[in-house]
Structure 1
Amino acid sequence: MWTNTPEGAGGGPVLPDGCMDLLWSEGRLLVAGPDTRPYVPEGAPRFWAGVRFFPGTAPALLGVPAHELRDLRVELADLWPASRVRRLRDRVEAAPDPATALEDIALERAERTTAPDPLLHRLVERLGEGRPVAATAAGLGIGTRALHRRCLGAFGYGPKTLARILRLQRALALARAGTPYAETAVRAGYADQPHLAREVRALAGMPLGQLLAGG
């Protein structure tokens, strides 16, 4: 669960992290699909509440393949019956804590939905540790083409893109903890510091120093 009121028009960029979110803001329920590039909120600052799902788990709960929502923010009413969404919206509006209400909705949905494929959870863990995609696929006993198809539905993109995004998150965690950039590059799994710099620009839209300074 999370809440946020951005400072300044639009707030800072939301970076790719492999996750999807159920969002609430100003009477609207939305779904944030998986990002492959930074998402910059538009308009005046406003209160947001959300539930962030572990990578690969949201599509089973929403009933929509992740690749159909890639790099999008869509109304929940575009995915579910409008009458159901109205009831949920009224429920969140009446709750003292919108984030807790969203979590309750997600947990209730999970109880009525088939559990996500456990293979995908293991995939995220292993790629998150920096293991190569091919070796990970072999270790999981699945071919690379079959893995790519399953990743599109669960994450919105293939395993190589997922690995890049998870590597970016590892690097950001290290750099924010004060690890020097050159050491960050090695520990996160990049070839060198210039490789780290290129990937941060590609996925975050700005240099690492600017990103750490708050954009």
Structure 2
Amino acid sequence: MTQQVHRVHPALQTYVARCVGYDYLPDPRAVHHGLPSPTATLVIAFDDPLDTEWLGDPRSRARRWTTVSGLGVRPALIHTHGIQRGIQLDLTPAGVGALLGMPVAAIADSLHTLADLGLGDELHERLASAVSWPDRFALLDGLLLAQLHTDPVGPPPEVTHAWDLISRSRGRLRVSVVADRAGWSRRHLQTRFGAEYGVSPKQAARLFRFHYARSLALRGRPLAAIAYQAGYADQAHLTRDWHELAGAPPVATLREMFPIVQDEVVDARAR
């Protein structure tokens, strides 16, 4: 199993929260749970297309060389077929606007290819032909820098401020408090926030809280302590919410030996 964490070019760091190259040979029967998070995901697969579907929705299953998904509160299933090799980019909402030219709400709770979004297959074709990880990452940086929009799509300042409040509190602020600090009514905030991010303020808070809880669990913290530190009512609340978001309880989720999703920390750039 190989994992290559790449620090993207400084001009991209506002937009790419995390970039990882992976080369993994799992059991061909293994099915991995892709977990919801407060970042959008772009996966470029090599050797074999990524076979993905939403949990509970077999009609969504397809094999894709590039897979783009926005924010959402349900897990994906990844059928590994014995080989997983490619690059995963975790894009901030600002990164979706700057690199894909659309609000993150446009890809909310959905699975697309870059071609579906009218962006072509050049990224996959050129990266797949590279012969080493350093070559791939250098090529990737160049392609992403060329893709940057000079006038990126972005939400109104009040909505961005609401997102920042939720992220800095790791989902612990009440929506009414967020709305008050953003200067809008709760109802107006929910409407505008959902239109920009594809999730409600409450769902965004849930994603940040879960993401933080998972990072604590990967550091070996006991669940009761995680529940308290991450802002859950109790351990039962944590376990219930985790199961709904991950499709499995905490112990089963952490047992999965797939390096890309098991991030060690909540990246500050995603917040």
* TM-score class, shorter: 0.7 to 0.9
Q: Which portions of structure 1, spanning 4 or more consecutive aligned residues, are displaced by more than 4 angstroms?
A: none
Per-residue CA deviation, residues 139-170 of structure 1 (Å, 9 max, x unaligned), is 12233233223332443211111111111111
AA paired with 2:84?
Answer: R
Correspondences of 1:38-187 after superposition (within 5 Å): 38-44=75-81, 45-55=83-93, 57-59=95-97, 61-80=99-118, 85-95=120-130, 96-97=132-133, 98-114=136-152, 116-117=154-155, 118-119=160-161, 121-128=163-170, 130-187=172-229
Contact 2:32 2:79 in 1 (8 A): no
Aligned in 2, Cα 1:16/1:103: closer, same or farther, shift over 3 Å?
farther
Amino acid at match of 1:61: L
Compared with structure 1, are the counterparts of its residues 119 and 105 closer, same or farther at alpha carbon in structure 2 (3 Å cutoff)? farther
Distance 1:24 1:150 in 2: 31
**Could you tell me the percent identity over the aligned residues?**
27
Q: Is the 8 A contact 2:99 2:148 kept in 1?
A: yes
| Gap regions ≥5 residues in structure 1 | none
- Which residue number corresponds to residue 190 of structure 1? 232
Following the alignment from structure 1 to structure 2, what is the Cα–Cα distance between the partners of residues 132 and 188? 14
Q: CA deviation at 1:199?
A: 0.4
Q: Quick check: 1:36–1:70 contact (8 Å CA) kept in 2?
A: no
Q: Is the 8 A contact 1:123 1:136 kept in 2?
A: yes
Aligned length: 212
Q: Deviations over 1:58-79 (max 9, x none)?
A: 1453234434423322111111
Q: Which has the higher strand share?
A: 2
**TM-score, normalization by structure 2:** 0.67
Asked if the contact 1:61/1:110 (under 8 Å) is kept, the reply is: yes
Name which of structure 1's ranges 172-181 and 149-158 shifts more when overlaid on structure 2.
Answer: 149-158
RMSD: 2.7
SS in 1 for 2:75: coil
Greater helix share, 1 or 2?
1
1:2 to 20, 37, 59: 20
| Structure 2 partner of 1:36 | 73
Q: 1:50·1:102 contact (CA, 8 Å) conserved in 2?
A: no
Distance change in 2, residues 1:104/1:11 (3 Å): farther
Contact 2:40–2:70 under 8 Å retained in 1: yes
**Distance apart, 1:115 and its partner CA:** 6.1
Judged with a 3 Å threshold, the aligned counterparts in structure 2 of structure 1 residues 185 and 105 are, in CA distance, closer, same or farther, namely: same
Moved more, 14-23 or 112-121: 112-121
